[in-house]
Structure 1
Amino acid sequence: MAREPLSVVVTTFNNADTIEACLASVHFADDILVLDSGSTDTTRDIAAHAGARVDVKPFAGYSAQKQAAIDLALHRWVLLLDSDEALPAAAAERVCRALESPDVAGFELLRREWVFWRWQSDRARLNHYVRLFDRTRARMSGHEVHESIVVDGPVRRLDAVIDHYGERDIEGRVDKANRYSSLQVHDRRTRTPRHLRLRMVVYPTVAFLRYYLWRGHWRGGWAGFVAARVHAFYAFLKYAKLYELRVSGRLRLGASLRDEGRDE
């Protein structure tokens, strides 16, 4: 049975180490669009060599950049990937099958995380995100960080897993926690939550336990433990920076709004 034509869209910035594997995993797509935000490495050359259409746009924020990429897609159905993600063969088959007669406006896909030096345990909880969607019925959420696809219509979850390579070391994960926490504060600067000092004390422990125990990352050995600790630190930074903003009235974003980096 013929399927709906598919556009794959990817946003990039200095992702020469991951973009080739990302694009190779979606070779079956009818259209591949890479929107780069000014890479100084060979990202654009690699993407063009892989057969992708390559466009360049100064980074406008995670959500706005991805929406710009979606708007450049040639087809109605879009698969949104990050530059450090890849679609295994089994997931590609399920995506193609879902597009044979799509009866919803979007599909959620699961995501498996590379945690420093190993894949997360198969028995840990996988995050799930809308990544395959009818772009005439969907849009980016507009958040500065942890942006998502908002779908006008029903959504169904596919039994398809995206491999996410993310940060390869602890330093990269901590840097990301620092950058993303500043962006979250920028997102919430006009609606600061109450009891910030109590949240700074309590919530990091709650975040650690939820990530490590409830989501099952304890099954990932020391990699899971370290990731849970960094996640707790991220939770602490969000509230500490909100408190700093409240008492000083200043928020320093540095280069975080200009650096496309890698998504969660």
Structure 2
Amino acid sequence: MAREPLSVVVTAFNSAATLDACLASVRWADEVVVLDSGSTDATLAIAAHYGARIETQPFAGYSAQKQAAIELARHDWVLLLDSDEAMPPGAAEAIHRVLEQPAHAGYLLWRREWIFWQWQSPRSRLNHYVRLFDRRRARMSRHRVHEEVEVDGSVGVLDIVMDHYGERDIAGRVDKANRYSSLQVADLAGRRARGLRLRMLTNAWAAFFRYYLLRGHYRSGWAGFIAARIHAFYAFLKYAKLYEATRVESKETRIPAAERKDG
């Protein structure tokens, strides 16, 4: 039975450390598009080695960059990957079966996380994301971070577990928490200061509880504990930065002229 052709789209920037594994895992796709935003490492050479169609544009934000990559695809059915993700063996057969007669507008795929020096415990909860979809009925959300594919139609689930290499050390994860919390300030704008104070007091503890206990990352030993603490810090930081933004223009926080220092 004939199936829908598939485009794999990948956004990349200085992704040489992980792009090889990513592209090697999707050799079977009908088309692979890599949208690069100015890499200076071996990213473009790796993409060329795998025969990907390479496009470039300045980074437009996580959501907008991925939407641009989706629009570059030649086929309607798209598999969207980050450059630090890789598909498992057997993914081609499972996806090709679905594309023979798609029953949904999009499909969720599972993802396991590399936590610093080990894979998350197989008994901890996996994340899942819409990654396979008909682009005529889907587009990226407008969130500045934690962007996701929004589908106009039903969504199915595929028994496919992607590998996500993510931040491979603690410093990288802390840096990401800092960057993402700054980007979320605009998404969270409009919250009342009173509500922000309460969230600063409670959200970090709630985030730690969900990540470490409910999602089962306590089973990943010290790697899971450290990741949970950083996740909790991120939950605090995004509301602390938003609170700061609401105060920075007020009279009591404006630096008096006599106290300002140049440099």
TM (norm. structure 2) is 0.92
Could you tell which deviates more after superposition, 37-46 or 194-203?
194-203
Note closer, same or farther for the CA distance 1:249–1:60 as it changes in structure 2 (3 Å cut): farther
Rg larger for:
2
Matched to 2:173, the amino acid is R
> May I ask how many residue pairs the two structures share in their alignment?
250
Q: Is the 8 A contact 2:193 2:243 kept in 1?
A: no
Q: What amino acid sits opposite 2:218 in the alignment?
A: W
Q: Percent identity?
A: 70
Aligned twin of 2:82 = 82
Distance 1:249 1:79, change over 3 A: farther
Asked whether the 8 Å contact 2:9–2:34 carries over to 1, the reply is yes
Look up the match of 2:136. Answer: 136
Q: Distance in 2 between matches of 1:157 and 1:62?
A: 24
Flag the 1:218–1:97 CA change in 2: closer, same or farther, 3 A: same
Match in the other structure for 2:212: 212
2:261 matched to which residue of 1? none
1:104-115 → structure 2 map (5 Å cutoff) = 104-115=104-115
Mapped to 1, the partners of 2:45 and 2:192 lie a distance apart of: 43
**Equivalent in the alignment of 2:62:** 62
Distance apart, 1:48 and its partner CA:
1.0
Task: Write out per-residue CA displacement over residues 154-190 of structure 1, whole angstroms, 9 at most, x where no aligned residue.
Answer: 1001111110000000000000000000011122224
Equivalence map 1:96-135=2 (5 Å)? 96-135=96-135
Report the CA distance between 1:249 and its aligned residue.
Answer: 4.1
**What amino acid maps onto 1:211 in structure 2?**
Y
Residue of structure 2 in register with 1:254 after alignment: none
Q: Which runs of 5+ in 1 are unaligned?
A: 251-264
Find runs of 4+ consecutive structure 1 residues off by over 3 angstroms. Answer: 190-194
SS in 2 for 1:99: helix
CA distance in 2, matches of 1:65, 1:190: 26
Q: State how far apart, in whole Å, the 1-side matches of 2:172 and 2:74 are.
A: 34
Cα distance, 1:194 vs. partner?
A: 4.4
> Which residue in the other structure is 1:200 paired with?
200
Confirm or deny: 8 A CA contact 1:144 1:184 kept in the other structure: yes
Distance 2:236 2:218 in 1: 21
Query: What is the CA deviation profile of residues 175-225 of structure 1, one whole-angstrom value per residue up to 9, with x for unaligned ones?
Result: 000000001112222445742122111110110011000000011111100
- Farther off after superposition, 90-99 or 229-238: 90-99
CA gap 1:192/1:156 in 2 versus in 1, 3 angstroms: farther
Shift of 1:94: 1.5
CA RMSD of aligned residues (A): 1.3
SS at match of 2:100: coil
Larger RCO of the pair (alpha carbons < 8 Å, separation 6+) = 1
> Residue in 2 aligned with 1:233?
233
Contact 1:192 1:242 in 2 (8 A): no
Structure-2 separation of matches of 1:146 and 1:192: 22
1:110-152 C-alpha deviation (Å, 9 max, x unpaired): 1100001110011111111000000000001011100000100
Q: CA deviation at 1:92?
A: 3.1
Query: SS at 2:29's partner residue?
Result: coil
Confirm or deny that 1:182 pairs with 2:212.
no
